[in-house]
Structure 1
Amino acid sequence: MDGLSTRVAIVALSVCLAAGFLLSILSCALYGNWWPLVVVFTYALAPLPNAVFGGYVSSDPLADVSSSVADFGRFLTSMLVVSGFGLPVVLAHSGIITTAAMVMSVSGGVLVYGTIVVYSTLFRSQQHDF
């Protein structure tokens, strides 16, 4: 990637991330119930297990050895991601939040998690090019 396309990608990803957080906060503010804000904490915590336990992953993709520490980090990350999508659904099903707030919260989660995934894949592939 050249410099201009990298800057455009960063700006586009930051707009998507801001829109995701805006939807999550609006799902709370518009309907007067701040329970969906708990999902924002899962956004912040979801990448941390991979960042902490990512050093235990083998650099050889053909290695048959699997690190239990790295697998535990992946498990924690997947648990947080599923909780980020499932919590608004459970809150709406139990009547604590409205369905519209659930849709806004899940949509914000899709934008935030999608931004994290695109950023990590985009710039991980750029690091290997050097």
Structure 2
Amino acid sequence: MTAGLKTIVALSFVLAIGFLLVILSSALFKNYLPLLVVATYVVAPLPNAICGRCATTNDFTAESDGSAVVEFGRWLTGFLVVMGMALPVMLFHCGVITMGAMIMSIAGGLLIYVTIITFSRFFQEENDWYSG
């Protein structure tokens, strides 16, 4: 039980640092456009979760009948993750934000995404009856 609690505390600390970097990328350079990236952080896991719930599973074969729906959810999640990384680069390329704001926003985004992925992998439920 304590290993799970230590993991949650560590992941929340890394998540807080990621959001701090994104907020500081806006506040330090007095340009609040990098905060648009936060919307992609919030929306990115949703398509994968929604499409994963929409796919039905067969109890006997452990295969999903809605694999196209699941694949679309993964594609949309990947698109949003890439957009979250590319938006600061595009804003820098257009001259709207500075290089420091771009680097801080991308670093914060990477920390946030790594935290979400680690949390979902660490606390993923596994089926005991299926080992394939």
TM normalised by structure 1 equals: 0.88
Please give the residue correspondences for 1:1-130 in structure 2 after superposition, counting only pairs within 5 Å: 3-55=1-53, 56=55, 58=57, 63=63, 67-124=67-124, 127-128=125-126
Deviation of 1:68 after TM superposition, in Å, equals: 1.5
Q: Detail structure 1 runs of 4+ shifted over 6 Å in the superposition.
A: none
Provide Cα deviations, 1:40-77, integer angstroms capped at 9, x if missing partner. 0100000000111112165757x596622111111110
Say which SS state the counterpart of residue 128 (structure 1) adopts.
Answer: coil
For residue 77 of structure 1, what is the amino acid of its counterpart? Answer: T
Query: What is the distance in 1 between the residues matched to 2:110 and 2:122?
Result: 17
Q: Is 1:57–1:70's contact at 8 Å kept on the other side of the alignment?
A: no
Instruction: State the Cα RMSD in Å.
Output: 1.9
Q: From the two aligned structures, give the one with the greater helix fraction.
A: 1
The alignment of Structure 1 onto Structure 2 pairs a total of residues equal to 125
Query: What is the distance in 1 between the residues matched to 2:56 and 2:83?
Result: 24
Say which SS state the counterpart of residue 5 (structure 1) adopts.
Answer: helix
Deviation of 1:12 after TM superposition, in Å, equals: 0.2
Change (3 A) 1:128 1:64: closer
Deviation of 1:93 after TM superposition, in Å, equals: 1.1
| 5+ long unaligned stretches in structure 2 | none
| 5+ long unaligned stretches in structure 1 | none
Q: Indicate the percent of aligned positions where both proteins have the same amino acid.
A: 49
Deviation of 1:94 after TM superposition, in Å, equals: 1.2
